[in-house]
Amino acid sequence: MEASLTALSAHLVSIGYKLALVTTSGGDPARLDIFEEVWELPGGREGRYSFSWWVRTASKGPWVDWDPHLVVSISVAGAGVARRLRGRAPSAAQSHGAALEEVRSSLRTATLRELSKIPLNAVRILRDRVAYRQFDRVWAVGDGVASQLTHPAISVPASKLKVVHNGVEPSAFSFSHGERVKARNAAQIAPTATVVVTTSRLHRQKGVALLLEALRQPACISMHALIVGTGPDESRLRTLAADRTLAGRVHFVGAVPRDDLGNLLSAADVFALPSLRSEGAPLSILEAASAGLRIVCTAGTPIPEALGGVVHFASATPAALATALASVAARAQDEGRFSRLPKELTQEKSLADYSLDVAALITSE
């Protein structure tokens, strides 16, 4: 969400808009330079909305006196501001998913910890249902997110909903042979080895353990894996990777700045998204496609229609995932390396769509 907000904000400034920001405390100062005013509300962690946040943003704050022509919210965080300024300024919420999918994901993972989250997320479903009604427009970042929002539990009216697909800047994730060699040397991976990469938070719902199990299967017995990210499941995953059948083939890279991610994608031959959760619109598959990778996802993962020829699905079993990875990697090696990102999913197209709708909302004020 941060990458999307940063790109959209910078674009709006570049075409003449003046922006102000109401946010949680502790953000990166470098990302705040483009805003004319920044109001940081204390009382919660960065990117987390405490009870204090909801109370303060629903009250009359200095952002009301700033008298904006449009309120843009990430998810429902700005619902209080939108409600306060109703009749004075139109509002739009950019949605990356709803609490309904968090409940579904917890049920699919079904650990005690995940099941214990369901009551809170059930309350958040009610919050989403009420909060999204405060906005004049709801931007869904993909068709999967739009389906979540129109579900009867959330019930965003079709008249308010607009799909604006996530997009990435192709040059930021273009394939580089030199970076491929460098990244493989750093991980001690042979030039001829087949490599799968996955980028995600290391959480049980992301299915990285399923990927490791797939690497034990005969079809992938010599395949290496680059695991990019950190998270609460890392210790368990490292224990699994220490098994003798995987020793030396699983490489934990840790957190990688987004600017450097293209280099690691260049090192791989296939991208895996073995998620066990209900995904919204994964940005990672766009980054992988831009780097020239074919993609293997677990069945049911929503993808943009334009990526239909690039993404391949497998059921969430080690054998099925291994078969798909081996087949896709072999096909990709025969084809060579070139960007597979369609123009409809570039950052340029996404920002142009946002700009048109921003102008339309302000004009309708």
Residues 293 and 261 sit within 8 Å (Cβ to Cβ): no
Instruction: Tell me if 68 sits within 8 A of 44, measured CB to CB.
Output: no
Q: Out of 10-14, 101-105, 222-226, which region has the weakest mean confidence (pLDDT)?
A: 101-105
Mean pLDDT of the chain: 91
Q: Where does the chain have alpha helices with state H?
A: 2-14, 51-58, 62-65, 79-84, 99-109, 112-116, 118-131, 143-150, 177-187, 208-214, 234-241, 258-267, 283-290, 318-335, 347-363
Same CATH fold, 170-344 and 2-167+346-363? yes
pLDDT digits (tens, 9 = 90+) for 290-316: 999 999 999 888 888 899 889 999 999
Considering only 43-57, 68-82, 164-178, which range has the smallest mean pLDDT? Answer: 43-57
Digit-coded pLDDT (tens) for 22-39: 988 776 666 788 999 999
Using one digit for the tens of pLDDT, what is the confidence trace for 342-353?
A: 999 999 999 999
Q: Give dist(CA 220, CA 242) in Å, integer.
A: 17
Domain boundaries, the chain: 2-167+346-363, 170-344
Which listed CATH number (3.40.50.10440, 3.40.50.720, 3.40.50.2000, 3.90.1150.200) goes with 2-167+346-363? Answer: 3.40.50.2000
Read off the pLDDT of residues 132-188 as tens digits, 9 standing for 90 and up.
999 999 999 999 899 999 999 999 999 999 999 999 999 999 999 999 999 999 999
Looking at residue 3, what is its pLDDT? 72
Quote the pLDDT of residue 50: 81
pLDDT in tens, 327-339: 999 998 878 899 9
pLDDT at 114: 84
Predicted confidence at residue 101, as pLDDT, reads: 84
Nearest CA among 135, 35, 125 for reference residue 80: 135
**Closest C-alpha to 22, from 58, 1, 30:** 58
Please check the confidence at residue 115 and state whether its pLDDT lies above 90: no
CATH architecture, domain 170-344: 3-Layer(aba) Sandwich (3.40)
